[in-house]
Amino acid sequence: MKLFFFLLGFAMLCRAQDQATDWVLEGRAAWQARDSQAEWVFRDQLWIGGGWFQSYEEPPRDLWASGDGREWKLIEKNAPWQHSDLPMNITFKDRMWIMGGWHKGRLPGHSASNQVWSSGDGLKWDQVTAAAGWSPRLAAGLVEFHGRLWMLGGTENYYFGDEKSLKNDVWSSADGREWKLETANAGWSPRAYHQAVVLNDRMYVLGGGNYVPAYHAKNDVWSSGDGVNWTRETASAPWEPRMWFSAAAYRGRLWVLGGWSKEKDNFGDVWHSADGKDWQRLETTTCWKARHEHSVFVFKDKLWLAGGHARPLSNEVWSLHLPVDWKPKTSTASLPVLTLPVRVHLMQSETMPAMHTTLAEPDIRRIFGKVNKVWSQAGIQFEIESIGPTTAVPAPPEMRLKPEFDRVHSMIPKQRLSAVAIDVCYVKEVKPNGFYYGEPIVVKDTAKLQEVDGGLDEPLPRVTSHEIGHALGLKHRQDKINLMQSGTTGFSLNDAEIATARATAEEYLVRRKKGDAAGKP
């Protein structure tokens, strides 16, 4: 039954091609599930401390360490720092540091801090200053850069502030005690719940925004070589605007992991970039459940993720190892765009409701707008040659016992099909969402898909793009978020698929120039 390979909805035929890069669930930590905790890599161990259980209690002040992400040891039950909800934390000059943060959630007496604490062993904590130069705040960026600590933005009030609570100031310090205001207003807008990362001798500020009272979230990326002069690398990265995410530098790239937005709720995606401008999503077969305010570490040559709010709170610990010679997908930005013509048939029938679509031309324009977005990752575009009604003819009697796609094909009059364009027929009802078994491509206008994180927002462009993928020589690949997976809204292509699809498209264009209809994909 090899024909079924072409049907959407028949799963599990192909394994992911890139098994080397996958998330591994190391286990569930001994600490109570939480989010918004501090995290450090210090003296060959992972550390977490404090965090958030709920908004109507004091935040926890416990401190835990692990050498392998599996076995965790309670180091301290009640550390002296009280503002452990969304504090800033870092390992600096061979000490663990925690500063700022929020205390008491939404309870009376809540406050933000500008205390700075550090420790050389996790047991003994020194208050470096009770009041740093910067205003009390939480959820700022904190990095080490050129031998100094750098504090970037944040908010002075978690639940009860306003836009004025948000900061875009930049402070630096060599010792955590004396702080120097580098600029009161950096180039990026005031924000909290963003991330800051150092890569290639530049500081990066990514995304973030504000939670209450006026929610807003960003997906811009800024960089600076001195903390004062900032360059906007992109106003809008391909990852969706978000806050409460995590970021890291690993394998010479910036990483953005998970997070939250009011529109989309939790994110379960992973993105990377060498420069903050060009971003790619990392495809893996396994991934942690979407979450926000988790910890991310780079430890033992791996990327680690722990805890976070995954509905419910989590104490999972995950790791991802990318081979040292791991290379991201090649960029298609420089490839010449291949444009293929498409003829769209709106199938009509008075007697066969299944063969009568109710889609109209504006629907097709919208669908193909999105199809072209999907296929832009391969440098392939589709140009609509025509959109028109095509009346279905009854299937000849000998077709009655044939498979559905044969039967449906026999109801589409051959003389209406294009000699040179790719034919796509929309109908009302077939068993799968669509199929490609040689042309014409058939898609039902009632298609339904399982939604996946970061997937397309409606089924028809995805189904159409998927079937076009088959027409361009692609097989199923049952990964998480990719275009050739059966029955989901994912739409990414890997390098091998892009190469195959482009080769098929190029071949088609060459033959088409010769006026050879057999050149149709």
Q: Which residues bind Zn ion (CB under 5 A)?
A: 8
Cβ distance to Zn ion smaller for residue 8 or 48: 8
Strand order through the sheet with 148-155: 141-145, 148-155, 166-173, 180-183
Nearer to Zn ion, 68 or 404 (CB): 404
Question: In this complex, which beta carbon is closest to Zn ion, that of residue 176 or of residue 459?
Answer: 459
Nearest residue (CB) to Zn ion, 8 versus 317: 8
Q: Which is nearer to Zn ion, 11 or 107 (CB)?
A: 11
Residue 509: its H or E element: helix 495-513
Pick the closer one to Zn ion by CB: 12 or 401.
12
Token output for 251:
């394998």
In whole angstroms, how close is the CB of 10 to Zn ion at the nearest point?
A: 8
We find the least distance from the C-beta atom of residue 441 to Zn ion, in angstroms, to be 11
**At a CB cut-off of 8 Å and minimum separation 6, what does 278 contact?**
331, 333
Cβ of residue 484: shortest distance to Zn ion, in angstroms? 7
Query: CB-wise, 233 or 439, nearer to Zn ion?
Result: 439
Q: Which is nearer to Zn ion, 60 or 455 (CB)?
A: 455
If the CB atoms of residues 8 and 151 are measured against Zn ion, the closer one turns out to be: 8
Nearer Cβ to Zn ion (248/474):
474
The minimum distance between CB 466 and Zn ion, in angstroms, equals 5
Q: How far is the CB of 8 from Zn ion (least distance, A)?
A: 4
CA distance 296 to 256: 10
Q: Which of 438, 451, 446, 440 is nearest to 488 (CA)?
A: 451
What whole-number distance in Å separates Cα of residue 437 and Cα of residue 407?
12
- Rounded Cα distance between 521 and 509, Å, is 9
**3-class SS at 367?**
helix
Burial class (CB in 10 A: 0-12, 13-18, 19+), 55: middle
d(CA 74, CA 475): 50
* Closest CB to Zn ion among residues 66, 433: 433
Closest distance to Zn ion from the beta carbon of 86 (Å): 44
Separation of alpha carbons 49 and 29, rounded Å: 13
Sheet holding 195-199, edge to edge: 195-199, 202-210, 216-224, 230-234
Give me the least distance between CB of 403 and Zn ion, in Å please: 15
SS3 at position 56:
coil
How far apart are the C-alpha atoms of 7 and 432, rounded to whole Å? 6
Instruction: Please tell me the distance from the alpha carbon of residue 263 to that of residue 193, in angstroms, as a whole number.
Output: 16
Q: Least distance from C-beta 468 to Zn ion, angstroms?
A: 11
What's the min distance (Å) between Cβ of 432 and Zn ion? 8
Quote the tokens at residue 304: 């680690």
13-32 burial: b if 16+ Cβ within 10 Å, else e: eeebebeeeebeebbebebe
Q: Which residue is nearest to Zn ion (CB)?
A: 8
Category of 259 on φ-ψ map: left (φ > 0), alpha (ψ -120 to 50) or beta:
left
**Residue 477: CB minimum distance to Zn ion, A:** 10
155 forms beta bridges with 138, 166
Q: How far apart are CA 449 and CA 288, in angstroms?
A: 21
**Rounded Cα–Cα distance for residues 134 and 100 (Å):** 9
Helix axes 361-376, 459-471, angle to 10 degrees: 60
CB of 18 to Zn ion, least distance (A): 20
CB of 7 to Zn ion, least distance (A): 6
Q: Which CB atom, from 193 or from 426, has the smaller least distance to Zn ion?
A: 426
Quote the CA–CA distance of 153 and 155 in Å, as a whole number. Answer: 7
291 three-class SS: strand
- Choice between 8 and 384, CB closer to Zn ion: 8
Distance in Å, CB of 12 to Zn ion, minimum? 12
E strand or H helix that includes residue 464:
helix 459-471
